[in-house]
Amino acid sequence: MSKISVNPYTWVEAEVPKGLDVRQVYGIIFSPDGRVLLLEDDGHYNLPGGKPENDESFTDTLIREAKEEAQVTIASIGYLGYQLIDIPEAFAQVRLVALVDGIEHAAPDPSTGRQYRRLWVPPTTANEFLDWGGSGDGQIAGAMAAASRLGVSWSGTPLAYFDFD
């Protein structure tokens, strides 16, 4: 088990322990050309994801949230680990890796009414936008290794761009 700690956030490459509340599931989602999907909302960046609903699995949560927030369908979904948040009571944010399977026209999130801009970035620069420090570096490194095993290559990946459609 690998751990990277930046208090109060600790990145853990292991299964979530029994009894630890999972409040959010986020995905590091790769395009076929090796870019990572980020969502921009009023100058802030995040990964697609959200709260599990009605006892849905981590995978089902990410599939739903990617569709609602980013209007993308995903495949080849794999578990990466979790970020332990220890303020004031401990909970987990699960991280999955996935590949984009389809992209639809941008639209508002049906649960919030917000419309996010899709930003596609080389994985080596994703944490510059997310600003998650060492914990984020560990998450991106794990996602890059997993994506590489799925055949994703990012050598020569062009610069970041917003997808306006």
Q: Which two tokens stand for residue 139?
A: 């998450």
- 41-92 tens-digit pLDDT: 999 999 999 999 999 999 999 999 999 999 999 999 999 999 999 888 899 9
Distance CA 8, CA 12 (A): 13
CATH of the domain at 133: 3.90.79.10
What residues make up the domain containing 141? 2-163
Structurally, how many domains does the chain consist of? 1
- 14-43 tens-digit pLDDT: 999 999 999 999 999 999 889 999 999 999
Above 90 in pLDDT, residue 11? yes
**How many of the other CB atoms lie within 10 Å of CB of 78?**
17
Distance CA 123, CA 142 (A): 11
Distance between the two ends of the chain, CA-based, in angstroms? 40
